[in-house]
């Protein structure tokens, strides 16, 4: 193992006359994310940027927001910045709450690009067959339903407002129209048992879904659920229970023909979520809408900023006078797209991030990525981190890639921390 890694990380095959540049891989965004910050009711565990409104107030707020979002889409689209978008994801919040407004946004995006995958999130209580048909006709290819659990008591405990029956109906409607169908499931919920979690998975497996994501509940500070737990009014299962649920998910879903291709993601053959893979493999992505995030290499971001379409540099460093290579991340802070938080990563920091994100996937850190890493990270440090991951049982070397082990995923903070330490 050690000798193989020594050879690997020292064999950097980039021509010396043309130094490898961080800005040489991508230019325009390959993925587009649109955020819809509206819900009928806010879940007790949610710390996302979302607004729970009702009646006329909700309609007026959605109209204003969609007008601003459409303007952003037109600005980037007219500048040609959406030309190479391969995947689109509309998330929230609850995008399905928009109704016809959502269809209009889809049509607007489709006017500027032809993505191979176009996903819309939906919640069962606001999804209808009519909306499904309209979205399909507008060009959506994939629906991700927020099911979370099919146990009535567990749904109530986390503040979800749909029923198991509504979830089943929504799945049937999605499949009837011909979408690729994904469902989100949560584990570690108040009152949940291994048996109830298994029943939810078992029922979903009978519905011939294309994709299932399984997420452990995270108690975020300041959320109603966290306050209830602090007050002793509810009991939330511990990390050992969550790990047992994740183990059960692996057993049940892989046994039913699903491939576990990422720590929380399972897909039937050919049904991996391409949009999420873009995030995990370092492709540049554009985020539009309040709290939406985006990422570009700095030369590309500077070029786009010069076109007048990327105003996020007004709240961060000017790329022409600061870093010339590396990565810029941003998050939109307002509805209109004029206020942003930005973060700049050096080439080495960006590479360490790529190594860390690669270990979210079963493909792991392949030889090509290790070679690129060796151009930015000292050989001894890179090799030591890889060997430490293998020695600790957090990863294995299969001759083609450093692959995260099941233990590595269960102890994700340890594995990811080991790789992120290579940033400096």
Q: What are the pLDDT digits (tens) for 193-209?
A: 999 999 999 999 999 99
Q: Are strands 31-36 and 87-92 parallel, antiparallel or unpaired?
A: parallel
Eight-class DSSP state of 361: B
What pLDDT is recorded for position 304?
Answer: 64
pLDDT above 90: percentage of residues in the chain = 77
What pLDDT is recorded for position 2?
Answer: 39
| Helices first, then strands: H and E counts in the chain | 16, 17
* Per-residue buried b or exposed e for 241-256, using 16+ beta carbons within 10 Å of the residue's own CB: bbbbbbebbbebbeeb
Pick the closest to residue 380 from 390, 391, 388, 369 (CA basis).
Answer: 388
Distance CA 84, CA 385 (A): 35
* Arithmetic mean of pLDDT, 377-386: 94
| 312 vs 93, more confident | 93
What pLDDT is recorded for position 317?
Answer: 44
Pick the closest to residue 411 from 241, 238, 220, 243 (CA basis).
Answer: 243
The tokens for 66 are 């969609």
Lowest mean pLDDT among 47-51, 224-228, 362-366: 47-51
* Arithmetic mean of pLDDT, 10-29: 43
Distance CA 28, CA 401 (A): 28
What pLDDT is recorded for position 233?
Answer: 94
Sheet holding 365-366, edge to edge: 365-366, 401-404, 395-397
Structural domains of the chain, ranges and CATH numbers in brackets: 2-22+351-423 (no CATH), 31-277 (3.20.20.70)
* Arithmetic mean of pLDDT, 354-381: 94
pTM strictly above 0.85: yes
Mean of pLDDT over the chain: 89
Q: Which residues contact 16 (CB under 8 A, 6 or more apart)?
A: none
* Arithmetic mean of pLDDT, 378-404: 94
What pLDDT is recorded for position 319?
Answer: 44
Pick the closest to residue 46 from 183, 235, 186, 195 (CA basis).
Answer: 186
Q: Residue 219: pLDDT band by 50, 70, 90 thresholds?
A: very high
Q: How much helix, strand and coil, in percent to the nearest 5, is found in the chain?
A: 45, 20, 35
pLDDT value at 245 more than 50: yes
Q: Residue 50: pLDDT band by 50, 70, 90 thresholds?
A: confident
């Amino acid at each position: 193992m050690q000798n193989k890694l020594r050879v690997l990380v020292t064999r950097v095959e980039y021509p010396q006359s043309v130094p490898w540049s961080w800005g040489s891989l991508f230019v325009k965004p390959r993925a587009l994310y649109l955020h819809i910050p509206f819900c009928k009711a806010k879940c007790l565990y949610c710390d996302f940027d979302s607004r729970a409104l009702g009646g006329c107030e909700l309609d007026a707020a959605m109209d204003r927001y969609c007008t601003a979002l459409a303007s952003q889409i037109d600005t980037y689209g007219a500048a040609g910045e959406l030309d190479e978008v391969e995947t689109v994801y509309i998330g929230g919040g609850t995008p399905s709450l928009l109704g016809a407004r959502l269809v209009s946004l889809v049509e607007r995006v489709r006017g500027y690009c032809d993505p191979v995958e176009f996903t819309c999130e939906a919640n069962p209580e606001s999804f209808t067959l009519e909306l499904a048909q309209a979205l399909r006709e507008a060009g959506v290819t994939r629906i991700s339903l927020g099911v979370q659990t099919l146990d009535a008591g567990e749904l109530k405990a986390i503040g979800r407002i749909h029923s198991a029956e509504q979830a089943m109906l929504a799945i049937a409607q999605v499949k009837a129209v011909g979408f690729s169908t994904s469902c989100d499931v949560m584990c570690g919920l108040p009152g949940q048992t291994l048996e109830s979690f298994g029943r939810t998975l078992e029922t979903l497996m009978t519905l011939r879904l294309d994709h299932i994501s399984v997420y452990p509940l995270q108690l975020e500070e300041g959320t109603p659920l966290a306050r209830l737990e602090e007050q002793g009014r509810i009991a939330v299962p511990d990390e050992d229970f969550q790990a047992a649920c994740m183990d059960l998910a692996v057993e049940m879903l892989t046994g039913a023909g699903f491939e576990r291709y990422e720590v929380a993601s399972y897909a039937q053959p050919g049904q991996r979520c391409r949009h999420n893979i873009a995030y995990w493999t370092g492709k540049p992505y554009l985020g539009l809408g309040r709290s939406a995030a985006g990422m570009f290499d700095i030369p590309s971001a500077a070029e786009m900023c010069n076109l007048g379409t990327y105003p996020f540099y007004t709240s961060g460093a000017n790329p022409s006078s600061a870093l010339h290579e590396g990565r810029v991340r941003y998050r939109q802070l307002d509805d209109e797209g004029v206020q942003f938080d930005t973060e700049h990563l050096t080439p080495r920091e960006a590479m360490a991030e790529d190594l860390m994100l690669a270990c979210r996937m079963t493909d792991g850190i392949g030889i090509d990525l290790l070679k690129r890493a060796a151009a930015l990270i000292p050989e001894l440090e890179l090799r030591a981190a890889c060997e430490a991951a293998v020695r600790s049982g957090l990863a294995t070397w299969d001759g083609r890639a450093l692959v995260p082990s099941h233990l590595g995923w269960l102890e994700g903070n340890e594995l990811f921390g080991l790789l992120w330490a290579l940033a400096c």
